[in-house]
Structure 1
Amino acid sequence: MATSSPFARPPPSNTQGAPPTTSVSDFLSVRSAPSVLAPSQSYAPFFKIVLQKRLKNMFILTAAAAVLALHVARFDPKELPGSLYNVLPALLFSPLAFLGALPIIVLRKQTITTSLPSTATRFSQLSSLRNPSTLPIFLAYLFGAISLSTSYIWCAGYTSRAPQLGVLSYHEGRGLYVLNERRIFLGLLHGFIAAYATVEHILSARSRVQFDEDASAPIPARLKAKATTRAPLAIRSVLVANALFFSSYILLRQPILKLVVTSFLGSWARPYLYTMLRSNAAYSFTLIARSLASSFLIFVVWEAAHVCFEVYATHPASVSHFSSNPNQCLISGLRSDDSYFQHFAYLELSTLTLTNPERRKNIFTDIKPDSARGAWAEISRESLKLVGTELQRAKGRGRVAAPPSAAAAPLAGAPSSPSSSPSVAIRNENVFKPTKKTFLDTLAASSTPSAAPSAVSSAISSSVSAATSRVPSIFQTGGSDVPTSAAPAPVATAVQAVVGFEEKLASWIPSAWSGSLFTRRPELVVGACVARRREVIWAIGALANLLCASLQEDPYGVAQHDIPKILEAFVRYLDVLDDLVKDLTASAERLPGWEKDETLKEITEQVAPLQLALRNGVREIVTEFEPFLSEFRFPTAIATRLQLLVDWG
């Protein structure tokens, strides 16, 4: 038995020649069973094959960076000029240095995510260090620091012929062996660097992959751009970590040693520590140079691993054409539960619908013989579901409302009759063209009672409310009743608010000292409202590309009858984004100094491209189907917005 579908072809009795139309409520009220393979059986395995090939290149580049960093770090001015050309020690100990980058790559691979952190401030991120997920991160950095520290000590000792650098104790004479404070100092420093990198990993949300705005840039250009950006940050980490550790070591060294000698260790260990008390190795310029060089090696290798992973893990790839059924493979990617694979699926969909006429025609002609559902129906459905979800996220200022109950779904999605849901067509003439007033018009205007404007406003409000009820809950505000008057937009609370102990602590510490520690981060506040803006932009572009090409490439006309619901969804989302921009801008105006500037900058960079994509998508569809616009029916509010685009472009 064929499944009931809103995409069914019109009955033969319709001889008017007008394209069939359906509302957005019809589109989302029917939830048919998926007609494609599960994501784990189709799209994801193909993309994982591409990632495995990229992993080899990632290892090669990281190993090359480890060799170069180790050669620079073990540089000894006393051995000039031979130390400049002697690359044998770096090559000899480079496998151990590469082993220090391997845990970072494994960590990024296991914890990869595309979601924004839910914490609002730097302090709340620091408080999340108590979570159990922090321990694996610290262990990965600690293992990497141990490997890199060992490779540096052995390589530097081999180059400078100073065996005392690599031993824990050495013979001082007369049968006395003392601890090598240089080795202890470097070991403590590298352990501190592992803890410092763990905190930096959490504060920078390194588990989240950062996608570039320009997805068309080649891998070498992206590697160069990211390396140029991250190199100053690595140097800053080297200086900050060493400054913190040096100051702490100088202040705590002698009190801790005295406490250990007098209270914990027996007489057998005291000669080792007394020797350390006699001389303070922290003031040695040679040791300072060693610490800076080893820190440089560790941070450069780690940053190389991060940069290579970011580039290779986010570079786009087209994989659906490797499948025996490319459309099913692509649709399974759109339906994937992992937003990471969904990102690449929507990017591939946008690219092929713009540049590949054969794939577009294949999408239009891929129709199941026993059902009206096909590739176009599935692609448009998944794309509009994404648009609807992000619409709700923007309305909730970063929070997506729970889906409606099954009992209320048929009522919310049931199509309304023409008598209860007024709709209008879009006309091709200028509706703003002034008309000449007659005597009867002047007489009627002068005799209109004062209550007439309110009556007209009530009529328009009721008609818009009735038209809005045709749209399902995914494109409406949470709740079954649609208000007739616009409610004030909620305050922009996209991420967790500053409450509890953090709020009290922020009130105790002067703002001049706290800096940005208790300040809500603008990129999170704005980004949480448009968390999947890239996927939405690509989905909008794909729908617009397919609809505009359907006039020449769709032999069965399966796409034209979805034009009303797509335009309606675009316009409603654009209205929500306009309200969001007004709300965020008003909130930013109340912020002081740099917070205001950063918030306005984030609004321009994150929300404005989404608004532009919606306007361009609507404009392209309306322009392409301008001769047929009078055949479609839209709710009054939607038709008004579309009419403005027709008249004013």
Structure 2
Amino acid sequence: MATRTATYPPASTTAATASSPTATTPKMRQYKDFLTPSMHRRFTNASLAMLAVCYIEAVFMSSASLFWRFLPIGMTGVRTLLLFLPVLAVFVIRLSRHHIGERNTTSGLETAFQLVTSKSAWLSLGWYLFSAYFFGEVFIWSKGAKGHLGWVDEGRSYERPRLNENPILLRTLFGVVAIAQTAVHWYFDYDGVTVSDNEGSSAKSSDVLDAPLPERSIRTLSDRALPLLKWCFQGTILSIATIGFVYFVFMRRFAWGSAYWIGSTVLTLPYNSGPPGLTHAAGLIWQAFSSCLLLLLLWETSNAVFSFYISQPPTKKGYPLTGAIKDTAGTPIARSEDPNGSLLAGLKSKKELSKSFALWELYLICTSFPSRRKSLFKDVERAQSSTWQQISGLCLAELEAIRTRIHIALAPTNGEAKLAEAELQRRQYESLVSSQQQQHSYGLPKIANKGVAVDPRVAIPPPAGTGSVAGNIAKSVGQHPGAQSPLSPIATKLAMKAKQLGYDRALTAEQRAQLSPQGITARVNGALMSMLRSPVGIPFRQPFARVAQVAVFGVPNSHRINILHAVRSLTALVLASKTEDDYGQVSHDIPVIIRCFTATINDIQSSLAQLTPSWTDVDFDPQNPASRKVESIDEVTNEIKRGLEQILLEFGEYAPTMGLTRMDMRLAKEAVGKGMGSEMVKVR
């Protein structure tokens, strides 16, 4: 690396003289022109891997001799291609519903509502049903007549042919397993693409990431093979145990009638007298177990393979996706006319996938590709602004989005506080006016207007004609302007009826207290809290952690990984600018970066302290500070603190010349917190 002897920061005039007004920007390709071919390669690799899995299952299904069973040319090869169609159905689901980041909702009920009202979610159920149906037909066809899975059961020589119920049970099993797999797919959010968030220190320092993809794929998939097999085995046992009850209790008549209607259109069947019963039970149990296990393995492996390949870094042959590609000898085999322009187009993209992968590529460039990182500082001849200014602005926009979401989340809380304060002032004013009116009134107040002091230890029934508890309840509803009735209309009618009949005259004080509005409200609240604490109330809870994550990371999917990549990329660029920024353009933006980092840290911490927990969060303890700790938010906050600390340690001595005041430095140090060590440079 080239070093500079001039005092940092350099003069601002160098950047202006470096650019020429007649300079032309080279032709730029959009980021999608790089990302789309990369996704095609990933899809092809995933398809080839799943073809191998389909071949293994085709060999297992075959009932031929050992030679013909393993020979790809023949029925095993045909069966392999047919089994690949259910795999393609899973790939269609993943391609249509994939997203970057974790699913972000405040409660399980909200997640379920989003899934139920989503058209693509129901389409995923349709694709799983199609996949299960096609797999079942291939399995039944593979077993042939020896498996006793034909449409017609010939029976013994003296019996009439009849519709075979065994394949009906198997097809019903495949449909039930497809519905269960869809629910698992939704619950565990298989559509989420996991993006690496490793630290920059773990990345290579060279200009090439030379880990071969086949080796990484084999190693990763082999590590997941045993847990995946265990999961599918458990699912198979549960499915076999469930299908007997579901089929014979709920679905047997419907499945038999549907199969008979379909079979009678192409076959000559006897009169439909109902299901005759299962035959060859031992073989049927083994067929149900093996077919269900193979189907679950096919689905789970398809999802695992697709997730592995789709979440690979945005590189090609070890180089950044938008940069020049070289072979093993160092000879360029692919060039990009304007790699930085293509990267900027990806960072500005409105599509979630393009923007996330562009931020990921920027992070890799800033931490693992020094030569490409230097080009980001040298590219100052753009029409709008330099590459550095656009990148820094886009990275800071991720942090500004956090602050915007936090302010929106806290706005209802602030509004409620203002309304409560206004209501308190109104009541105080009404009390003051009432006392003044009593002072200026003539005569003594009537004794009947005063309440009767009743000893709660003695239950004295009220005299006849002076009202009752039920009557007081009914009269108390709606006496204050704008007050809402604590009782439902039915409860109000019952209270009025009780007043007319005089039932409450025979009630004890405890019973009258239970019938009061406060007592009814307490009983209803107690029942609600008991329900929320039970397993039934889990979907209705809104835990504080989920509410805070929605406020900080956004909806419907979390932007956490994009924020981490933006913070780490910006920090790496600022630290590298001291030796690589020949034009000194970064020094003018360091105050803005420090202030933005500081404000973001303060807003996140204040949001965790001010955010009001939902009343449905039965596990929240107001007295325990750990209840307001959210691990994912703390991770992002610590990353911003780490970046701010590194920038302050590197450029703290230049604070006065860069325009940073003592107040800015003090707030930044307070945001970072104690424990920065004695290396922190004091502001001169």
Normalising by structure 1, we get a TM-score of 0.67
Q: What CA deviation, in whole Å up to 9, does each residue of 1:194-225 have, x standing for no partner? A: 22222222223333323344496944444344
User: For 1:392 and 1:172, how far apart are their aligned partners in 2?
Assistant: 77
Q: 1:542 aligns with which of 569, 572, 582?
A: 569
1:136 corresponding residue in structure 2: 123
CA-CA distance at 1:376 after TM superposition: 0.6
2:135 corresponding residue in structure 1: 148
2:99 corresponding residue in structure 1: 113
User: For 1:232 and 1:303, how far apart are their aligned partners in 2?
Assistant: 11
Q: 1:514 aligns with which of 526, 532, 536?
A: 536
> SS of the counterpart of 2:119?
coil
Q: Is 1:180 aligned to 2:164, yes or no?
A: yes
User: For 1:337 and 1:101, how far apart are their aligned partners in 2?
Assistant: 30
Q: 1:87 aligns with which of 41, 61, 70?
A: 70
User: For 1:36 and 1:602, how far apart are their aligned partners in 2?
Assistant: 49
Counterpart of 2:97 in structure 1: which amino acid? T
CA-CA distance at 1:66 after TM superposition: 2.1
Q: 1:195 aligns with which of 156, 167, 179?
A: 179
Distance 1:228 1:46, change over 3 A: farther
CA-CA distance at 1:505 after TM superposition: 12
2:460 corresponding residue in structure 1: none
Q: Does the CA-based 8 Å contact 1:335-1:382 persist in structure 2?
A: yes
Q: Does the CA-based 8 Å contact 1:141-1:194 persist in structure 2?
A: yes
1:301 corresponding residue in structure 2: 298
CA-CA distance at 1:156 after TM superposition: 3.0
Q: 2:643 aligns with which of 604, 617, 623?
A: 617
> SS of the counterpart of 2:584?
coil
Counterpart of 2:35 in structure 1: which amino acid? F
Q: Does the CA-based 8 Å contact 2:62-2:69 persist in structure 1?
A: no
Distance 1:514 1:589, change over 3 A: closer
CA-CA distance at 1:275 after TM superposition: 6.8
Q: What CA deviation, in whole Å up to 9, does each residue of 1:615-644 have, x standing for no partner? A: 121121112213312324446653323345
2:394 corresponding residue in structure 1: 382
Distance 1:378 1:510, change over 3 A: closer
Q: What CA deviation, in whole Å up to 9, does each residue of 1:311-362 have, x standing for no partner? A: 1111112211042111101111111111212122112112212233322322
CA-CA distance at 1:517 after TM superposition: 3.8
Q: Is 1:103 aligned to 2:89, yes or no?
A: yes
2:630 corresponding residue in structure 1: 603
* TM-align CA RMSD: 4.5
User: For 2:541 and 2:93, how far apart are their aligned partners in 1?
Assistant: 29
Q: Is 1:54 aligned to 2:42, yes or no?
A: yes
Q: What CA deviation, in whole Å up to 9, does each residue of 1:152-180 have, x standing for no partner? A: 222233xxx61532435546546832111
> SS of the counterpart of 1:199?
helix
Counterpart of 2:81 in structure 1: which amino acid? P
CA-CA distance at 1:65 after TM superposition: 1.6
Q: Does the CA-based 8 Å contact 2:107-2:546 persist in structure 1?
A: no
User: For 2:406 and 2:66, how far apart are their aligned partners in 1?
Assistant: 59
User: For 2:340 and 2:252, how far apart are their aligned partners in 1?
Assistant: 70
> SS of the counterpart of 2:161?
strand
> SS of the counterpart of 1:42?
coil
1:561 corresponding residue in structure 2: 588
Q: Does the CA-based 8 Å contact 2:379-2:386 persist in structure 1?
A: yes
User: For 1:641 and 1:552, how far apart are their aligned partners in 2?
Assistant: 27
CA-CA distance at 1:544 after TM superposition: 1.6
Distance 1:116 1:637, change over 3 A: farther
Q: Is 1:247 aligned to 2:245, yes or no?
A: yes
1:592 corresponding residue in structure 2: 619
CA-CA distance at 1:137 after TM superposition: 1.2
User: For 2:223 and 2:543, how far apart are their aligned partners in 1?
Assistant: 25
Q: Does the CA-based 8 Å contact 1:390-1:532 persist in structure 2?
A: no
Q: 1:66 aligns with which of 54, 61, 70?
A: 54
User: For 2:67 and 2:608, how far apart are their aligned partners in 1?
Assistant: 57
Q: 1:392 aligns with which of 397, 404, 420?
A: 404
Distance 1:579 1:185, change over 3 A: same
Q: 1:342 aligns with which of 355, 366, 374?
A: 355
Distance 1:506 1:202, change over 3 A: farther
User: For 1:213 and 1:226, how far apart are their aligned partners in 2?
Assistant: 20
| Number of equivalences | 503
Structure 1 residues not aligned, in runs of 5+: 1-15, 22-34, 401-502
1:464 corresponding residue in structure 2: none
Q: What CA deviation, in whole Å up to 9, does each residue of 1:387-431 have, x standing for no partner? A: 11123224445999xxxxxxxxxxxxxxxxxxxxxxxxxxxxxxx
Distance 1:212 1:557, change over 3 A: closer
User: For 1:398 and 1:193, how far apart are their aligned partners in 2?
Assistant: 44
Distance 1:43 1:270, change over 3 A: closer
Distance 1:52 1:135, change over 3 A: same
Counterpart of 1:43 in structure 2: which amino acid? Y
Distance 1:37 1:101, change over 3 A: farther
Counterpart of 2:601 in structure 1: which amino acid? L
2:193 corresponding residue in structure 1: 209
1:577 corresponding residue in structure 2: 604
Q: Does the CA-based 8 Å contact 1:43-1:332 persist in structure 2?
A: yes
1:320 corresponding residue in structure 2: 322
Q: Does the CA-based 8 Å contact 1:75-1:84 persist in structure 2?
A: no
Please show how residues 154-165 of structure 1 align to structure 2 within 5 Å. Answer: 154-157=141-144, 162=146, 164-165=148-149
Counterpart of 1:233 in structure 2: which amino acid? W
User: For 1:564 and 1:360, how far apart are their aligned partners in 2?
Assistant: 22
Distance 1:324 1:272, change over 3 A: farther
Distance 1:19 1:571, change over 3 A: farther
Q: Is 1:276 aligned to 2:275, yes or no?
A: yes
User: For 2:26 and 2:94, how far apart are their aligned partners in 1?
Assistant: 28
Identity of aligned residues (%): 20
